[in-house]
Structure 1
Amino acid sequence: MVYDARHPLKYDQQNYFVITHQNITERKLAEQKVRDLARMDGLTNIANRRYFDEFLNAEWRRCLRLELPISLAIIDLDHFKLLNDTYGHQHGDQCLIKIGKLLKQFVNRSSDICARYGGEEFAIVLGNTSTTEAQALLASLLDEIAHLDIANPNSSVQPYLTASIGLATLHPSFGLHENILVHQADNMLYKAKEKGRDRIES
């Protein structure tokens, strides 16, 4: 039987109330862990595509409200299939893990995120960031990828792993959807590949 304040427990001509306290901290932490896991890419331990989409939508709306620019970079690892074919998929997975770890170093604000976009593609969202600022950050990223010195001897670009980056920056406005930013970044990535890879196009 359950007693509450509306139905006091009578004993020896006195009314008593049963008060229970349940610590739900552990359960809440477990629920949060499940939510966090659902947002993460299982291999690289950075945001997955689903969470990227959610974050981009929220950051787009924030930048719209505050009249701020938002930048998006789509990063493709050059000739990654050749690396896999040369050394095997397990080695390729280790390379993706290294890239994920590196990308985390370039997103330090609550308005930024790095994510695995799909396969060997990654994405970085930079809220309140101009094209010039984003280009400087991404140039450093390209240097750091080169410094990882991950061998890719059959690549036509360099004998080590390189990346091509498409960058787009917009000031969100009413009537526009964040997908236009994705479309523009994707077009710039295509242009970077056309121009020889291992470069940023914006």
Structure 2
Amino acid sequence: MSIAVLQPVRRSNTNSPHISSTAKSQKEQNSEDDTVVIYNRIPKTGSTSLKHVVAQLSIINNFNWIHFNTTRFLKVFGLADQRRFITNITNWEEKKPAFYDGHLAFIDFSRFGIRKLPIYINVVREPLARLMSHYYFLRYGDNYDPNRVRKKAHDHRTFDDCVAMDGEDCGPAKMWVQVPFFCGHSEECWSVLFVSQTS
């Protein structure tokens, strides 16, 4: 797993700030705040836009925004990788308070004996609208990386054409990709996903 860090920048809006002798310094306040928020982003739900908002808020509100990429874009980890991910997040004290974002299925930290659980957030989208957006994203991309050649750039079929031809990119199995972002690595999650795909 690779992690990129955006460091917050603090600006004072007064020329001569008054600091009370009883007030805690910003560093002392931050050392007491060990909040960790994980935004395990569902693709094509406005996650890139929200990520940019969080990046700006991290500067204003003095928290660390940390984007993570998973190897080979895996959204589900084996037990060893789940433990490594949890250890990295819970032990990285100098980066707390922290807001992590990346495409990853929900991981139950309590299953690994963690008492101070992170706060998970996410955004959902109506499944068909999300699927259509993803379908066209694979072909045409977006404004954030306009020069990147997409893996389906050669396929100019419309979504309706894909459905009419019973295509792989628009089939019912693709409708349920949001589920693991909420129930994650549990067997129950995958049994629900399997049933929904075979119904």
Range of TM-score over shorter length: under 0.3
Using structure 2 for the length normalisation, give the TM-score.
Answer: 0.27
State which structure, 1 or 2, has the greater radius of gyration over its C-alpha atoms.
Answer: 1
Question: Could you say which structure has the higher strand fraction?
Answer: 1
Using structure 1 for the length normalisation, give the TM-score.
Answer: 0.27
